[in-house]
Amino acid sequence: MGSPTYDKNTQVNFLKQRLHMFMDVLDAIDPEDTDVEDIDRLLSILDEMESKCREFNHREVKESV
């Protein structure tokens, strides 16, 4: 695991990359073959991105204090 990222551009690029990966997964899913576990994993990915957004926001606030 790397060191915390405080640079806003790096944080935004990280989140954009994760979002693009998520969208690629969505595009690849066949609705006919998708089960509850697949949906749970997608929701987990979204939760991880939301958590990372909060973490980045917290770092920004902490850095400015």
For residue 56, give the H/E element and its range.
helix 36-64
Summarize pLDDT for 6-61 with one digit per residue, the tens: 888 999 999 999 999 999 999 999 999 999 999 999 999 999 999 999 999 888 66
Question: Position of tokens 């920004």?
Answer: 60
- Does residue 63 have a pLDDT over 70? no
Instruction: Indicate the residue type of 44.
Output: S
State residue 5's pLDDT score: 77
pTM for the whole structure: 0.76
Angle (CA) 37-12-39 rounded to 5° is 10
State residue 64's pLDDT score: 59
State residue 58's pLDDT score: 87
Instruction: Indicate the residue type of 61.
Output: V
